[in-house]
Amino acid sequence: MIRKVLVANRGEIAVRIIRACRDLGIASVAVYSDPDRDALHVRMADEAYHIGPALARDSYLRVDKLIDVAKRSGADAIHPGYGFLSEKEVLPAACVEAGITFIGPSAEAMAAMGEKTAARRRMHAAGVPIVPGALEGVDADQAARIAGEIGFPIILKAAAGGGGKGVRVVERPEDLGSALRGAVSEAVSSFGDGTVYVERYVSPARHIEIQIIADSHGNCVYLGERECSIQRRLQKLVEESPSVVVDEALRRRMGEAAVAAARAVGYVNAGTIEFLVDSDRNFYFMEMNTRLQVEHPVTELVTGIDLVREQIRVASGLPLSFTQEDIRPRGHAIECRISAEDPFNNFLPAIGVVEALREPLGPGVRVDSALYEGLNVTVDYDPLLSKLIVWGADRDEAIRRMRRALDEYEIVGVRTTIPFHQILMESEDFASGRFDTGFLARRWPALAEEIPDRRDEAALLAAAVAHVRGHQVKKPAPAVNGGTNPWKLLARRAALRQL
């Protein structure tokens, strides 16, 4: 069994992995950059090592520094989390060379699924449905020819991409040239690779992903689906399981396709196969994420399976602790990503110090977070601060529970997306399941007008918090998210001796 794990990440996912290690009786090692010196993951780990300045390329993306820390600390395994190096085959390859266990797939499997056109070719050969389009990168002439064959609208995608980078939707032939140049330019700047391919743009569509996990003993299991259609500019904001459009027959067909996709590349450990589902309930392979997903908690809540624990067990050479027949999803789970972004200002990144914090509790509520009072939120890294996840016996109960949890969630000092989620959870379209990947693009302007702008209340609450703590506010009044009357909230905190 693995004895000590270096967590090659930061923020809430690093905290999540450290907790799983502690549950297993495994020692943990944190790494941190200059601004993360006082971060929660650093405080929680058994050991912590400085690896460089704020720039990720000089710290969290330095494979040599991670391997050096693993050797110095005696860590016999590295968990990459998500983001950073989690889908870069250079890290698992370096681990093999150093005799360190990588908690994830092999470099070969990662490379096979990481480049999108190669993955499409493999899936096509394995009989997994793919979106009609190119199987190779295209130039302007090839893009025009293929677009003529499959019909507009089309979508251009970076072959080395992810996270919505290097992607352009093209509605008309006359826009193809400029869109291709833009996609190539962004792909080069984001990934160092300007290869772009073309697919039919499936719209309206649902974004449905299947969680799989495989061990080195030949077992591969799918753990149901996650609905990821609530997106803004191709970035997921809300995820849930199960999906309202997936019945048992479709779930089985998509699950079996996901397992076939994983087996086609000899995949071992946790991964996710992402599909588009059209209005006729046809599904098409989009890509495979060869890592743990941000939204993995919703699967954990409906299946009762700790995915990080299973990742560590699989990497230790143990078989899965369950079979396909053991997977019996129960109830409904929803996750809201709480990010340092201002929904009053086109979701621009927000900065500030967390002056006061109250995270929701109660039945069916889980918060995966790296927040603490005094945390300095900067723009150095991804704006994700925490994940609020709830479980209910059915979808209606889960939505009601999420509304309650969002109302309880208070973050003073940094603007967050909590108000956005509050309005979304009250939306009739969301409650009825009438949405697709284009939902927010169509409805966001109207939804934005419904968000109560509580910036005046934020100023009052920040001043009251500062007064109780015996100091003055020396910067512009910070934001408040969640809750109602700030003076009532202050009184509640004082009564609970939280200040």
Which tens digits make up the pLDDT trace of 217-244?
A: 999 999 999 999 999 988 999 999 999 9
At the topology level, CATH places domain 4-103 in Rossmann fold (3.40.50)
DSSP assignment of 481-494 equals: ES-S-HHHHHHHHH
Task: Pick 350-435+443-499's CATH classification: 1.10.10.2840, 3.30.70.20, 3.30.70.1450, 3.30.470.20.
Answer: 3.30.470.20
Residue 35 and residue 11 in contact, taking contact as beta carbons nearer than 8 Å: no
- pLDDT band of residue 499 (cuts 50, 70, 90) is very low
Which is catalytic among the residues 62, 291, 401, 454? 291
Judge if the upstream peptide bond of residue 297 is cis by omega within 30 degrees of 0: no
> 4-103 with 104-130+205-325: one CATH topology?
no
Residue 229 and residue 204 in contact, taking contact as beta carbons nearer than 8 Å: no
Q: In percent, how much of the chain has pLDDT > 90?
A: 83
Which architecture does CATH list for 132-200?
Answer: 2-Layer Sandwich (3.30)
At the topology level, CATH places domain 104-130+205-325 in D-amino Acid Aminotransferase; Chain A, domain 1 (3.30.470)
- pLDDT band of residue 464 (cuts 50, 70, 90) is low
pLDDT above 70 for 97: yes
Residue 215 and residue 268 in contact, taking contact as beta carbons nearer than 8 Å: yes
- Which one has a higher pLDDT value, 114 or 495? 114
pLDDT above 60 for 102: yes
For 11-43, what is each residue's pLDDT tens digit? 999 999 999 999 999 999 999 999 999 999 999
- Quick one: pLDDT at residue 471? 55
pLDDT above 70 for 479: no
Helix (H, G, I), strand (E, B) or coil at 104: coil
Q: Compute the distance between CA of residue 138 and CA of residue 148 in angstroms, rounded to an integer.
A: 14
Average pLDDT over residues 80-109: 96
For 160-204, what is each residue's pLDDT tens digit? 877 678 999 999 999 999 999 999 999 998 888 999 999 999 999
Radius of gyration, CA atoms only, the chain: 23
Token code pair at residue 225: 């689906």
Token code pair at residue 279: 């209005």
Residue type, 284: Y
- The span from the first CA to the last CA of the chain, in angstroms, equals 44
DSSP assignment of 124-142 equals: HHHT--B-SB-SS---HHH
Token code pair at residue 190: 């984001």
Domain boundaries, the chain: 4-103, 104-130+205-325, 132-200, 350-435+443-499
Of 312, 288, 237, nearest in space to 16 by CA:
312
Q: Compute the distance between CA of residue 141 and CA of residue 441 in angstroms, rounded to an integer.
A: 30
Residue 159 and residue 135 in contact, taking contact as beta carbons nearer than 8 Å: no
- pLDDT band of residue 473 (cuts 50, 70, 90) is very low
Average pLDDT over residues 439-453: 77
Give the H or E element holding residue 259: helix 248-264
Q: In percent, how much of the chain has pLDDT > 70?
A: 90
For 137-153, what is each residue's pLDDT tens digit? 999 999 999 999 999 99
- Which one has a higher pLDDT value, 499 or 36? 36
* 291 is known as an active-site residue: yes
- The average confidence (pLDDT) of the chain is 91
For 398-417, what is each residue's pLDDT tens digit? 999 999 999 999 999 999 99
pLDDT above 80 for 451: no
Looking only at the bridges linking them, the beta strands covering 27-33 and 4-7 are parallel
pLDDT above 80 for 469: no
For 350-407, what is each residue's pLDDT tens digit? 999 999 999 999 999 999 999 999 999 999 999 999 999 999 999 999 999 999 999 9
- Quick one: pLDDT at residue 346? 87
